[in-house]
Structure 1
């Protein structure tokens, strides 16, 4: 007997569809609405060897913000009626307009700017910066380079790429010594290229205390404080958006460092600081919006020098610098005047897992127990030596920053072995040869999937920065597989 199609459709709607609605959310991760409670139970009941519950939020956060095909397809969709604004406006604040003279703003070539960024850093407090120099730094760090009309408004494209063009990073300036600009705290309103004055006064003492008593801050002309408004990314990417917001901040920070070097200014970057004090100074809550990095900028270079992100000589009398990049206090100070630095902020049950991780990461002084792995967990089929001499680039760093956005259309054209070598050399090797190390060499490893490089077979490689060479792990064509694993994005 021939079945009626209408009856089949009705049976599907009444039986199959409700089952799908019920069981699919049960298999999702933390992207699902209502799944957070189930995640809490799993975390409480799961016994992972060497992991204490309610302590290692970084491990928990990383595990539960992973992508799977199922959670991408069935995850929570953005609320288009509550899309976050990418600009933070202080309606009652005094605004300081900044001039923008792009045509006259030229500096060093890219390779020279990178080399200068890796030189010794120190400041001279005698010469002030001009307002034009501040305007230039802000524009090439995060300024508007294009405008796109979209549903519900205008999208302002910037000199730094951003996941989903959501731009979670905010820039605050703490001014010490700038001509025609009053000392105080300012927020940079990107779309109008103006400064919004939040507070007046000299806050160098608070900054020194917040940056582990680094007295060199008082000699800098101004301090950039980078914050992230996490909801801007989490609105679309949920808990995984926390990852993207930190990566976005890294792009913006590197823009500032390169442009400062291009005009002969010195910078010093801080990732270790007392979060709550900096957040209070800016007037942010530290949860929905929180400071993630500080960069001091100034003129001049002297004999005294403190490495980027580490304590000054005054602080080094009290702290030893661990090889893994963490500040480790001698035992006699653990119960003394630095005891307050070791206190972890109170974790609230109402926080999301990314908020818990961020709150827990405010503890900056501790002794991490990490087993170092010295053996490479892979075999090397062959080693490819890369050239170390490159033609001098005539491209100005400003020209590149104006073009720098998220990748658009890739032409599937090959790059040369020399071009790949130069990219790797400038990204890694210069830091190893400089007078200081920005980070521990064990904190970052680079693996490459080569699809179309002249003179290099397709396959999986590891970059050995010590010898500036590629270690071939496997000769294989992974172009289609990478496309699949990257959620069918055009890579």
Structure 2
């Protein structure tokens, strides 16, 4: 695919196909420019969440926890600090010091373990919590109060909807802070912002559903109105998605109110929320410009998308194999704790066919809607393909997953490991040692051309949600799953026939058994 064929900002195309074009050739990572890993507010009241976090879902749900306990478990298992890690890299005997890396681990993956996303909550009706707007502080597992009072009506108006709510409700506002990963990835961090936020959203949605709280994802909202609510600067941080959860009460939509950023902000006074900041800012001009292009200034500027592509009929598979229908139960909390990205530590072993079936068909997001993609659940505009290198009962080859028929179709037969290895832009993986490689794809150019720059962020978030699902359920079967972006998308799409289907690879995931990682971990719960 050529840049002349796209009708949107060429930077979005380059982020997907030519990431080297958005990063200066002479640039190197300067770890001294890394900002603090946490956003910390000064002098604001806070509420400690329940530190008795459960490690298994079944017993916790059967104990009939209250809303406060469920919220505590949700936030900790989604974004809390679970372990302190010391990762040792191989060094030569003559070297005096072994190379090591120290970092906090959370239950969701993040590029470089930098976690650029932040969680804010607008809630009411939770015992032990005043109605208001809060920021989740993961290092203290606490909520910091930014605004006191019931702001749920304000959020609804910024979303262009109105709910008739009963009792308790919570809105999770997911933002991205540019400084968190810009020092390492520069402008490529824009792609990671959507993916990381999507992974986090996928974890939150999966656990909300498991904890009995109905949820909906909102990609449409009046941006400046929500930034005003949170008192964040668009040159440093912006809102990517909102998750509404009504704690089991049925949502009833009412007539929309047509609001603008100015009319909403005028009704809400500014608030002082001092943050412990460092005077380290990069040149975020490209990121800010893309976010400005994606901005919704009024409810009328919201976009909808109807997916009319029938990929199933376009794929002429050589053979169709039914997936195993029997699903093995997976404890989501334990799987969250066990999730691992093995890096180069994969080892070749045969993947059982029923395990493959479970990983492909298990979906903790079934029935959850978003407000952009018409008549589809979240992630259903993302398609799944995979290369079976060493899977029980499956011929080696590249397959399409037909979710409607719960089957897989062989598209290209043979040992494709050399092709996948050649497709890596960084040779830090040996894909000959991986039994399964998953591709998450979409009609990227059509979607972004239709929805605009905001559509780019949405696709990355949807791909991030599905990435989280594959990692989570792989962990449920004691397997590692490593998301990777160091692949030549154009080369692989042409070689595998995806180009003819107008599909773009959004994510590549290596999956299989792994050797022990060279690291020490100290549990923080």
Q: Normalising to structure 1: TM-score of the pair?
A: 0.69
1:16-42 deviation per Cα after TM superposition (whole angstroms, max 9, x unaligned): xxxxxxxxxxxxxxxxxxxxxxxxxxx
Structure 1 residue 432 displacement after superposition: 10
Q: Rate the CA distance shift 1:373–1:137 in 2: closer, same or farther, 3 A.
A: closer
Higher relative contact order (CA 8 A, sep 6+): 2
- Pairwise CA distance, 1:268: 2.3
Aligned partner of 1:356 in structure 2 is 289
Match of 1:11 in 2: none
CA distance, structure 2, for counterparts of residue 141 and residue 407 of structure 1: 20
Aligned to 1:20: none
Structure 1 residues 165 and 484: alpha-carbon distance in aligned structure 2, compared to 1, 3 A threshold: farther
CA distance in 2, matches of 1:354, 1:285: 13
Q: Which of 382, 399, 405 matches 2:318?
A: 382
What are the ranges of 5 or more consecutive residues in structure 1 without an aligned counterpart? 1-45, 114-126, 306-311, 319-336, 342-349
Q: Is the 8 A contact 1:108 1:262 kept in 2?
A: no
1:292 to 231, 235, 240: 240
Q: Could you tell me how far apart the structure 2 residues matched to 1:228 and 1:77 are?
A: 23
Secondary structure, in 3 states, of the residue corresponding to 1:472? strand
Q: Note if 1:447 corresponds to 2:385.
A: yes
Instruction: Give the match for residue 475 of structure 1.
Output: 413
CA contact (8 A) 1:220 1:297 kept: no
After superposing the two structures, state which structure 1 stretch, 279-288 or 212-221, moved more: 212-221
Give secondary structure in 2 for the equivalent of 1:191: coil
- After TM superposition, give the deviation of residue 429 of structure 1 in Å: 10
SS in 2 for 1:314: coil
Q: Take 2:116 and 2:182, find their aligned partners in 1: how far apart are those partners?
A: 9
1:380-411: per-residue Cα shift (whole Å, max 9, x none)?
35132223421542x42110111224344323
Count of residues in Structure 1 that have an aligned counterpart in Structure 2: 388
Aligned to 1:465: 403
2:331 aligned with 1:396:
yes
CA distance in 2, matches of 1:191, 1:281: 23
CA contact (8 A) 2:218 2:243 kept: yes
Shift of residue 63, structure 1, vs aligned partner? 2.0
Distance 2:320 2:118 in 1: 42
Distance 1:450 1:274, change over 3 A: same
Partner of 2:174: 226
Secondary structure of 1:215's counterpart equals: coil
* 1:145 matched residue in structure 2: 82
Q: Is residue 422 from structure 1 mapped to residue 358 from structure 2 by the alignment?
A: yes
Please state if 1:278 is matched with 2:226: yes
3-state SS in 1 of match to 2:232: coil
Q: Which has the larger radius of gyration?
A: 1
Correspondent of 1:178 among 99, 106, 126:
126
- Could you say which residue in structure 1 is the equivalent of 2:13? 62
Distance 1:368 1:258, change over 3 A: closer
* Structure 1 contact 137–256 (Cα < 8 Å) conserved: yes
The yes-or-no answer on 1:84 pairing with 2:35 is yes
Q: Are 1:131 and 2:68 counterparts?
A: yes
**CA, structure 1 residues 149+92, in 2 after alignment: closer, same or farther (shift >3 Å)?**
farther
2:203 counterpart of 1:255: yes
Give the CA RMSD over aligned residues: 3.8
Deviations 1:331-374 (A, max 9, x none): xxxxxx57889xxxxxxxx8633332222112373668999655
5+ residue gaps, structure 2: 88-98, 263-282, 432-525
Cα offsets for 1:247-288 (capped at 9, x unmatched): 111121121222222232222221211111111101111342
Distance 1:398 1:376, change over 3 A: closer
Alpha-carbon distance between aligned partners in 1 of 2:410 and 2:200, rounded to the nearest angstrom: 33
Answer yes or no: is 1:437 the counterpart of 2:437: no
Distance 1:429 1:398 in 2: 15
CA, structure 1 residues 108+129, in 2 after alignment: closer, same or farther (shift >3 Å)? closer
Q: 1:204-215 counterparts in 2 under 5 A? A: 204-215=152-163
Equivalent position of 1:101 in the other structure: 52
